């Protein structure tokens, strides 16, 4: 497995700013170029019709922009209370939203600029390209509006859960090889025989490790003859003075700046290189639904459906990654979650928050039983442990014998078609 550094993108605010600048430049230069290269060409629209169309498009577009995006951000803010602030922030940063702002702004600005060229110098017409470009921008705005509505529709609970799980599936497939592949479990502790020669610490405000440039770390390790041990895993938040990595042994000093640049830091976690993040978001949705203020166990059951899908895929993959070697031996060690770590994240909080919900307990019993039947024996130990914890939680939460019996049944719908005990 080779993990590449995450691509950098322009900041969100730069997208609508770029559209605005291009619209202003087009409004100033395009009619002049057209008048020079194609004198006398007109769009066929009368000056009165052109003025009416351009004015209507300009005034209507700025009003539509304000209304649409006010409603969009209100919906995002409202959904943050129903799902997870981290997940809604991910949608708020989606490029469709910012490209929509850019296209709407460009349509408004160019429509205003085009009015100045209607019946310019008494020509009695409107420049051909400039006139029809307003119509083209209007159609593009309609298309972006439709795309924006489709993106906001992700805030429906079923689509939100599926959206999160889709990202989790892609990360699992990219990071882990099938369990049937040759196991790669080299000795990860051989570096302990070497002296500690360097330690890298974070400097600055708290930041989250979003990705690691593994090829760069391997190249630096090989060039200096060292072993690099990453301490701050992907998804960790590092604060001032927090240790990020250690370097053991080596012939030459390692470039500290290059080591620091191998860490992609940001303000929040991302799905890339972070297989636990999708599970984290699904669990957030489930436990928020189980809070007394919401009290929606059905949403928690729907989240458990998606969690089961990710756990099935993880259970069929070789999770023992993180030790990167070459012909000379061990080069880089990166901490990644184990099978037990994934199960603890997926089950513990939901089991605690949904302990008194018959629906959630039955769904969790069916989930674990299905995983035991579907996954290879080497995954069963940790699953049996969580199965015992779940049974203890049910026994503790339902002192009444009949309620205990109801909560102890396996049911994939929670309260649907129970299995025969």
* Residue corresponding to tokens 């700025």: 62
Q: Does the residue 417 lie in any domain?
A: no
301 and 385 share a domain? yes
Number of domains in the chain: 3
Low-confidence winner among 32-36, 229-233, 339-343 (lowest mean pLDDT): 32-36
Q: Does the residue 340 lie in any domain?
A: yes
Element (H, E) at 100: helix 95-115
Instruction: State which of 107, 138, 155 marks the end of a domain.
Output: 155
195 and 138 share a domain? no
287 and 253 share a domain? no
308 and 381 share a domain? yes
SS3 state of residue 238: strand
Calculate mean pLDDT across residues 33-61: 76
201 and 281 share a domain? no
Percent of the chain with pLDDT over 70: 89
CA distance 225 to 222: 5
- On average, the pLDDT of the chain sits at 86
340 and 242 share a domain? no
Instruction: State which of 96, 130, 155 marks the end of a domain.
Output: 155
Calculate mean pLDDT across residues 37-64: 77
Calculate mean pLDDT across residues 135-152: 88
73 and 46 share a domain? yes
> Which has more confidence, 247 or 254?
247
Highest mean pLDDT among 45-59, 63-77, 388-402: 388-402
> What's the predicted TM-score (pTM) here?
0.81
Element (H, E) at 66: helix 47-82
Calculate mean pLDDT across residues 2-20: 71
Instruction: Please say whether the beta carbons of 99 and 148 come within 8 A.
Output: no
Calculate mean pLDDT across residues 374-395: 95
144 and 249 share a domain? no
Calculate mean pLDDT across residues 376-405: 94
Q: Does the residue 132 lie in any domain?
A: yes
Q: Does the residue 351 lie in any domain?
A: yes
139 and 209 share a domain? no
281 and 217 share a domain? no
Q: What is the structure's pLDDT at 190?
A: 72
Residues 6+ apart with CB under 8 A from 411: 362, 363, 365, 366, 417, 418, 419
214 and 340 share a domain? no
pLDDT band at 218 (very low <50, low <70, confident <90, very high): very high
Instruction: State which of 133, 155, 177 marks the end of a domain.
Output: 155
CA distance 420 to 404: 15
Element (H, E) at 248: strand 243-248
- φ, ψ of residue 129 to 5 degrees: the values are -65, -45
CA distance 264 to 132: 45
pLDDT band at 181 (very low <50, low <70, confident <90, very high): low
pLDDT band at 263 (very low <50, low <70, confident <90, very high): very high
∠ CA 31-37-39, nearest 5°, is 75
Closest CA to 189 of 49, 30, 323: 323
Indicate the pairing of strand 329-333 with strand 323-326: antiparallel
* Residue 356, domain extent: 275-319+336-407
Q: How many CA atoms lie within 13 A of 319 on its CB side?
A: 20
Beta strands in 166-236 (DSSP E): 177-178, 196-201, 207-212, 227-230
Q: What is the structure's pLDDT at 154?
A: 75
pLDDT band at 397 (very low <50, low <70, confident <90, very high): very high
Q: Does the residue 6 lie in any domain?
A: no
220 and 148 share a domain? no
Q: Does the residue 226 lie in any domain?
A: yes
The domain that holds 195 is classified in CATH as 3.90.1170.30
Q: What is the structure's pLDDT at 421?
A: 56
Residues 6+ apart with CB under 8 A from 400: none
Instruction: Please say whether the beta carbons of 172 and 313 come within 8 A.
Output: yes
Low-confidence winner among 32-36, 55-59, 215-219, 303-307 (lowest mean pLDDT): 32-36
Is the pLDDT confidence value at 40 over 70?
no
Q: Does the residue 4 lie in any domain?
A: no
Low-confidence winner among 112-126, 221-235, 271-285, 361-375 (lowest mean pLDDT): 112-126
Q: Does the residue 198 lie in any domain?
A: yes
Is the pLDDT confidence value at 267 over 90?
no
Long-range contacts, stretch 363-368, CB < 8 angstroms, 24+ apart: 363/300, 363/301, 363/304, 363/411, 363/412, 363/413, 363/414, 364/304, 364/390, 365/390, 365/394, 365/408, 365/409, 365/410, 365/411, 366/410, 366/411, 366/412, 366/419, 367/304, 367/307, 367/308, 367/311, 367/412
Calculate mean pLDDT across residues 33-37: 74
pLDDT band at 173 (very low <50, low <70, confident <90, very high): very high
């Amino acid at each position: 497995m080779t993990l590449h550094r995450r691509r950098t993108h322009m900041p969100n605010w730069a997208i609508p700013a770029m559209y605005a600048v291009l619209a202003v430049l087009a409004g100033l230069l395009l009619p002049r170029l057209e008048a020079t290269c194609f004198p006398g060409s007109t769009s066929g629209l009368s000056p009165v019709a052109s003025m009416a169309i351009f004015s209507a498009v300009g005034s209507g577009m700025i009003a539509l922009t304000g209304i649409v995006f006010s409603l969009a951000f209100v919906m995002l803010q409202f959904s943050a209370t129903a799902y997870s602030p981290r997940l809604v922030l991910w949608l708020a940063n989606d490029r469709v939203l910012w490209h929509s702002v850019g296209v709407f702004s460009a349509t408004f600005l160019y429509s205003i600029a085009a009015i100045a060229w209607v019946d310019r110098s008494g020509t009695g017409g409107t420049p051909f390209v400039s006139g029809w470009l307003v119509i083209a921008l209007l159609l593009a705005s309609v298309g972006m509006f439709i795309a924006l509505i489709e993106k906001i529709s992700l805030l429906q609970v079923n689509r939100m859960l599926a959206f999160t799980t889709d990202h989790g599936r892609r990360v699992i497939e990219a990071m882990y090889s099938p369990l049937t592949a040759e196991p790669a479990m080299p000795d990860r502790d051989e570096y302990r025989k070497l002296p500690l020669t360097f330690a890298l610490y974070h400097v600055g405000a708290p930041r989250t490790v979003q990705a690691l440039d593994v090829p760069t770390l391997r190249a630096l390790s090989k060039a200096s003859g060292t072993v690099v041990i990453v301490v701050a895993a992907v998804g960790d938040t590092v604060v001032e003075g927090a240790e990020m990595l250690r370097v053991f042994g080596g012939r030459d000093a390692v470039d500290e700046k290059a080591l620091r640049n191998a860490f992609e830091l940001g303000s929040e976690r991302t799905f890339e290189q972070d297989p636990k993040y999708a599970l984290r978001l699904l669990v957030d949705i489930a436990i928020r639904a189980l809070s007394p203020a919401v009290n929606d166990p059905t949403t928690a059951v729907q989240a458990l459906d998606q969690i089961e899908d990710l756990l099935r895929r993880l259970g069929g993959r070789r999770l023992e990654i993180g030790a990167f070697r070459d012909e000379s031996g061990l080069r880089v060690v990166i901490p990644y979650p184990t099978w037990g770590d994934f199960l603890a994240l997926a089950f513990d909080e939901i089991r605690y928050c949904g302990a008194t919900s018959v629906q959630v307990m039955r769904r969790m019993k069916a989930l674990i039983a299905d995983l035991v039947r579907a996954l290879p024996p080497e995954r069963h130990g940790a699953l049996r442990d969580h199965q015992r914890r779940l049974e203890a939680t049910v026994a503790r939460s339902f002192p009444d014998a009949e309620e205990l019996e109801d909560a102890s049944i396996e049911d994939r719908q929670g309260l649907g078609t129970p299995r025969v005990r």
